[in-house]
Amino acid sequence: MDIQSIKNRFAIIGNSPALNHALNTAVQVANTDLSVLIVGESGVGKEVFSVIIHALSARKHNPFIAVNCGAIPEGTIDSELFGHEKGSFTGAVDSRKGYFETVSGGTIFLDEIGEMPLGTQARLLRVLETGEFIRVGSSKVQKTDVRVIAATNRDLLELTQQGKFREDLYYRLSTVPIRVPSLRDRKEDVPLLFRKFAADFSERYKTLSVQLDPAAQQMLVNYYWQGNVRELKNIAEQISVLSVDKLITAEALMKFLPQRNTSKSLALIPGSGVSSSGGNADFNTERDILYKLFFDLKKDMNDLKQMIFDVAHHQGYTPADPSAVNQQLLPVYNNSDSEPSLNLNNHYNPNTPILLEANDHHEDVEETLLLADREKEYITKALKKHKSRRRDAATELGISERTLYRKIKEYNIQE
């Protein structure tokens, strides 16, 4: 079966090379019994790949079940997966079969495998290696024939180094790894996905399908899709339901896109030069925050200059333009040893307050100091808002915890 047929059958939209490679791998491994580890960010559609693998395998007529390991409490996950005997724990009023017993002959999809407790990981490793398991509260070994497909949005190798995930289980699960690309890595697919979602919601809600003008489409492509396809689908539904005008402009689109105070929000601006493809993440994120602060400060300074110009004009001092206020009142030197004198034009009013501006270097220093103050202020507010929880504050600011620690120490911020 070719890739396009797979896309049509499972309603997969997109033509990016990374997506096609992931689909090819899924098709090739489907007809084996190898364990598969699907890696990708939240919202990229990892479960769809598990369904594809099962549907194209020899087990397709047998049961398939998806289990979210992060949604099951640690005290009951062993019972859910492997079953329990009557009286094995408080509340166990009857014996119960687990998923590995009921799905024997089929496929089990373990989503968010990185959240699985270490004790359960040991039980799972035994199932993968020998096909054997023991119910909670029993001593009888039972056999099962289940294919395991796991998925995670976390770095399992890093978790193994932290002692939170078994290294032997990692290598047993990742016999064949499949990496599902994020939406940021397949930007060419964003317009296609949006049109598909918009058409679906138009049909569901019996309305005209929304359309994007070129500027809005470019903004959608440049946006940092932290929630990936799931977030794009939500945005498409909001626009379909709430927008009166069915031709969406960039200005109208901005109202629906979450404004994040990070480099991710700067990605909304076409031509901003903000890269979302990785690289030195700490440096780029910190730099982008500084750029945003700098632009805010420049705007404040321009507003202040305009206000000074308006006051001066009201008092009878009329330069040709606001910038002339600074130029016409700069101190000048007649020679290297003389005191500075003011450069006043014929429109000078003796009652007008004299405005002095230092040289450009002084202005740059002031701007730099103001920039540092503003950054310190933002960090302090974020820490106060999140009650000194540094991880939450770092997320709010769009920087790493390491960068936040350094900034707290640099500015001597008292938490």
Kindly list the averaged pLDDT for each block of 10 residues, start to end, along the chain of length 415: 90 94 96 96 95 96 96 92 90 91 97 96 96 94 96 95 95 95 95 95 92 95 94 95 92 86 44 41 50 62 71 60 46 43 43 43 50 80 84 81 82 81
In this prediction, residue 388 carries a pLDDT of 84
Q: What is the pTM of this model?
A: 0.63
pLDDT at 354: 40
Residue 288 burial (10 A CB sphere; 0-12, 13-18, 19+):
buried
- The string of DSSP codes covering 36-86 is EEEE--TTS-HHHHHHHHHHTSTTTTS-EEEEEGGGS-TTTHHHHHH-B-T
- What was the pLDDT predicted at 275? 40
What pLDDT is stored for residue 287 in this prediction? 52
- Identify the bridge partners of residue 133 per DSSP, sorted by sequence position: 142
Token code pair at residue 157: 């190798």
Tokens of 303: 């507003």
Name the residue among 406, 388, 386 with its Cα closest to residue 396: 386
Instruction: Look at residue 361 in the predicted model and tell me its pLDDT.
Output: 46
Please tell me the predicted confidence (pLDDT) of residue 316.
62
pLDDT of residue 314: 65
Of 200, 194, 199, 228, the closest CA to residue 213 belongs to 194
Instruction: Give the C-alpha distances (Å, rounded to integers) separating 190 from 184, 196, 203, 272, 338.
Output: 9, 10, 20, 19, 66
Which residue type occupies 257? L
| H or E element in which residue 18 lies | helix 17-30
Nearest to 181 by CA among 45, 3, 279, 54: 45
Write the CB contacts of 121 (distance below 8 Å, at least 6 apart in sequence): 165, 166, 169
Domains and CATH numbers, the chain: 3-181 (3.40.50.300), 184-258 (1.10.8.60), 281-411 (no CATH)
Chain-centroid distance, C-alpha 338: 60
From CA 40, how far away is CA 178, in angstroms rounded?
A: 9
